[in-house]
Amino acid sequence: MNILVTGAAGYIGSVVCAKLVEAGHHVIGIDNLGSGLDPILPPEVDFRHGSIENIGKLISDKDNVDGVIHLAGLIQVGESMKQPEKYWQTNTSWHIGIADRNAKIGCHKIVFSSTAACYGTPERTPIEESDIPHPDSVYGWTKLAVDQMLASYADAYGWAALSLRYFNVAGAYGRYGERHQPETHIIPLALEAIAHHTAFTLFGNDYATPDGTNVRDYLHVADLADAHILALDHLKTGQHDIVNLSTGLGSSNYDIFKAIETVTGQKLDIDIQARRAGDPAILVASNAKAKQLLGWQPKYTLEDMVRDAWKFKA
């Protein structure tokens, strides 16, 4: 198929593109390179530099797009609370423009990068797709708005759409890995501390969890990419669905530190600070729906994620 990937040069986008190429698809990749980093993509990808705001100038009906994997968007929760207009414009208004463009080129199949942030602080664990969303951030609300937009397009115009709600993505796939500027994710930050022999700042060790630290559901980026490709084959006309992508397992911050020390053979220096506001103690999701609907099964362990991220860094 001819697959359009927005946000193609990002962390997840680059792995999705690589996996699509390996599966034999033709990939058109769009990215505005807002991170300031040069794109690292398979040479087979038809890369087009530009913003999704101007997608009409980047894609035409001659491209014969069969499906869209829409990953582009802003992802910083804290920033979304300080600059909400930036997030509403980029993550919502421009996404509506993409939907309109899809209609013009005759492509009504879309796999959307949604987020666990739609759920907010959960009322139960594990989180299921039927749980009522209560976003705690502007970022979460903007993603939820697009989920709802896609549902309305499916109902009114017969679109086929899937919103994939990611939990904590980690690891690397060969030469494709995390290069965020600034980096905010715990595994690359802790590996950075190991590499430079500096202390890692841990926010809170007094949560109501077995070891006192946050528990999160970590998923290997390669497993995540595989789910997107499977999702393309399970889009149904006139339907929109929401699917969690997770392992269904919880790993604490100390579990991560242990895996890092095992992989690197080095001791991590930890500087414990007070909790950050708004950090839930536990976020773990059910992946039963993804297994049933997509036939998807995560393959990688937490230690695999750390090992691949460490190799990428090296």
Give the E-state strand segments of the chain in sequence order. 2-6, 26-31, 46-49, 67-70, 109-115, 160-166, 168-170, 200-203, 215-216, 218-220, 239-245, 251-252, 270-273, 282-283
Question: Residue 182, preceding bond cis, omega within 30 degrees?
Answer: yes
Cα-based torsion angle of the residue sequence 211, 114, 278, 121 in order, rounded to the nearest 10 degrees: -70
164 and 62 belong to one structural domain? yes
23 and 112 belong to one structural domain? yes
212 and 279 belong to one structural domain? yes
* Mean predicted lDDT score pLDDT of the chain: 93
Q: How much is the pLDDT for 227? A: 98
Q: How many domains does the chain have?
A: 2
Comparison of pLDDT for 71 and 279, the residue scoring more? 71
* Residues 127-149 pLDDT 10s: 999 999 999 899 999 999 999 99
Please determine, for residue 277, whether its predicted confidence score (pLDDT) is greater than 80. no
Of the residues 203, 226, 245, the one at which a domain ends:
245
* Residues 7-48 pLDDT 10s: 999 999 999 999 999 999 999 999 999 876 778 999 999 999
Is 139 designated active site?
A: yes
CATH number at residue 57: 3.40.50.720
184 and 147 belong to one structural domain? no
289 and 229 belong to one structural domain? no
Residue carrying the six token digits 């505005």: 32
Query: pTM value?
Result: 0.94
201 and 282 belong to one structural domain? yes
131 and 238 belong to one structural domain? yes
6 and 49 belong to one structural domain? yes
Please determine, for residue 109, whether its predicted confidence score (pLDDT) is greater than 90. yes
Instruction: Give Cα separations from 76 to 48, 62, 246, 279 (angstroms).
Output: 24, 35, 20, 14
CATH number at residue 257: 3.90.25.10
Contacts of 27 (CB under 8 A, 6+ apart): 3, 5, 8, 17, 20, 21, 42, 44, 45, 46
Q: Which two tokens stand for residue 186?
A: 């715990």
Please determine, for residue 219, whether its predicted confidence score (pLDDT) is greater than 70. yes
Angle at 87 between CA 82 and CA 91, to 5 degrees: 160
Comparison of pLDDT for 75 and 163, the residue scoring more? 163
Stretch 158-167: mean pLDDT: 96
Q: Which domain holds residue 272?
A: 171-217+248-313
* Residues 241-271 pLDDT 10s: 999 999 999 999 999 999 999 999 999 999 9
175 and 164 belong to one structural domain? no
- The SS3 assignment for 97 reads helix
Please determine, for residue 81, whether its predicted confidence score (pLDDT) is greater than 80. yes
Q: Give helix then strand counts, H and E, for the chain.
A: 11, 14
CA distance 303 to 300: 8
Q: Which two tokens stand for residue 307?
A: 């090992």
Q: How much is the pLDDT for 209? A: 95
165 and 175 belong to one structural domain? no
Q: How much is the pLDDT for 36? A: 61
CA distance 162 to 228: 9
Choose, from 11, 87, 119, 139, the residue flagged as catalytic. Answer: 139
Comparison of pLDDT for 53 and 187, the residue scoring more? 187
CA distance 51 to 72: 9
Please determine, for residue 71, whether its predicted confidence score (pLDDT) is greater than 90. yes
Please determine, for residue 78, whether its predicted confidence score (pLDDT) is greater than 90. no
Stretch 265-294: mean pLDDT: 93
